[in-house]
């Protein structure tokens, strides 16, 4: 069978993927190693098929589902955006064969010295187009209750990793009270589709396409219905790379120019609050990835995440959260080691 050898036996999922590829794309060549891993159980392999390069997704059904990716990909493509087309799929086995959008992420382009202005402008225009075109699709709600539940990640993982002991019940209770106050009014803006991981690592540069189609979209399977500010915050308050504050301000203005029906003051407040909530969550997630899942590289991002969070906590609407950190976990001293 093409692409199979003795080493395949040590990776049963890869062996099953190779067998499935032989069914749906005979003659394909599956490499030994996947593309760069992400923070999930999914793996991606670049496959040489008789019809050209494709990307195979391996999502173990006991941990991941492929149908959400498939549904959202179709929704995005129907909106005229460049999500990878699903060439073939077997949801029961957790396999998809996808269009290959190449290797040039916005992150790679920036690292190679590309001008950030047009790259971020296109990403913002793509987001505006998505929100104006997709409307309010049938997706899980991502409102106050779910945002509040996500805040548990900090007291469950980051706080214990910093202090060496579980978060005390009194501090834990005060944490959620602070966020209940901070998230009050977060649903005032009309809900829209939210991709949740809309940042430079998940956006592709597609120079052969034009307009918003020149911005390829990845990692959107967890799409929800929530605040129109969330994805812009993910893009401009990026945990993985610095974004020039003046550039970020221009891009926020560009977004609001594309969505003039939104209340500007409410939108700015939502950006600050959701940035703080998101970076609070990321502190917990990246700590969990390092401590539980053996991925210590994520700790390299924590200094930036702490800085972004500290900047947002200066906002008056986030005073309860800022007070909690002052009293229970001063951010300037909150560091995490790779192992306990």
Q: Is the pLDDT of residue 9 over 70?
A: no
Return the residue matching tokens 């997704």: 57
How does residue 337 score in pLDDT terms, banded at 50, 70 and 90?
Answer: confident
Give the Cα separation of 287 and 112 in Å (integer).
29
Give the Cα separation of 39 and 263 in Å (integer).
35
Burial class (CB in 10 A: 0-12, 13-18, 19+), 13: middle
Q: Is the pLDDT of residue 214 over 50?
A: yes
Residue 282 · residue 241 · CB < 8 Å: no
Q: Which CATH architecture has domain 6-99?
A: 2-Layer Sandwich (3.30)
For residue 3, give the 3-state DSSP assignment: coil
Give the Cα separation of 206 and 82 in Å (integer).
9
Q: Give per-residue pLDDT as tens, 55-100.
A: 999 999 999 899 999 999 999 999 999 999 999 999 999 999 999 9
Q: Give per-residue pLDDT as tens, 179-209.
A: 999 999 898 999 999 999 999 999 999 999 9
Comparing 37 with 43, which gets the higher pLDDT? 43
Sketch the domain layout of the chain as residue ranges: 6-99, 106-333
For residue 100, give the 3-state DSSP assignment: coil
> What average pLDDT score do residues 29-35 get?
87
Comparing 11 with 81, which gets the higher pLDDT? 81
User: What's the CATH number of domain 106-333, 3.40.50.970, 3.90.1200.10, 3.40.630.30, 3.40.50.720?
Assistant: 3.90.1200.10
Q: Is the pLDDT of residue 6 over 50?
A: no
The residue ranges of DSSP E strands in the chain, in sequence order, are: 43-49, 52-58, 86-90, 95-99, 192-194, 203-205, 215-217, 224-226
């Amino acid at each position: 069978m093409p692409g199979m050898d003795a080493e395949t036996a040590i990776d049963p999922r890869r062996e099953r993927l190779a067998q499935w590829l032989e069914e749906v794309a005979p003659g394909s060549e599956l490499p030994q190693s996947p593309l760069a891993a992400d923070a999930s159980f999914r793996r991606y392999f670049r496959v040489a098929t008789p019809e050209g390069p494709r990307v195979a997704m391996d999502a173990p059904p006991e941990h991941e589902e492929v149908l959400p990716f498939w549904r959202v990909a179709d929704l995005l493509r129907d909106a005229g955006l460049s999500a990878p087309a699903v060439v073939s799929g077997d949801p029961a086995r957790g396999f998809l064969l996808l269009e290959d959008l190449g290797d040039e992420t916005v992150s790679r382009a920036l690292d190679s010295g590309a001008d950030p202005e047009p790259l971020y402008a296109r990403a913002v225009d793509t987001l505006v187009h998505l929100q104006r075109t997709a409307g309010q699709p049938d997706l899980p709600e991502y409102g106050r209750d779910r945002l509040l539940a996500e805040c548990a990640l900090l007291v469950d993982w980051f706080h214990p990793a910093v202090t060496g002991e579980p978060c005390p019940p009194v501090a834990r209770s005060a944490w959620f009270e602070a966020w209940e106050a901070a998230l009050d009014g977060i649903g005032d803006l009309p809900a829209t589709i939210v991709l949740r991981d809309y940042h430079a690592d998940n956006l592709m540069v597609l120079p052969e396409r034009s307009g918003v189609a020149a911005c390829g979209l990845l990692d959107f399977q967890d799409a929800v219905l929530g605040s129109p500010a969330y994805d812009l915050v993910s893009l401009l308050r990026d945990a993985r790379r610095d974004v020039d504050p003046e550039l970020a301000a221009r891009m926020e203005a560009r977004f609001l120019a594309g969505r003039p029906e939104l209340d500007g003051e409410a939108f700015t407040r939502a950006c600050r609050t959701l940035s703080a909530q998101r970076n609070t969550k990321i502190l917990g997630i990246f700590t969990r990835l390092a401590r539980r899942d053996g991925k210590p590289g994520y700790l390299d991002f924590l200094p930036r995440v702490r800085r972004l969070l500290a900047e947002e906590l200066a906002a008056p609407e986030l005073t309860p959260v800022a007070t909690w950190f002052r009293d229970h976990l001063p951010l300037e001293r909150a560091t995490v080691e790779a192992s306990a």
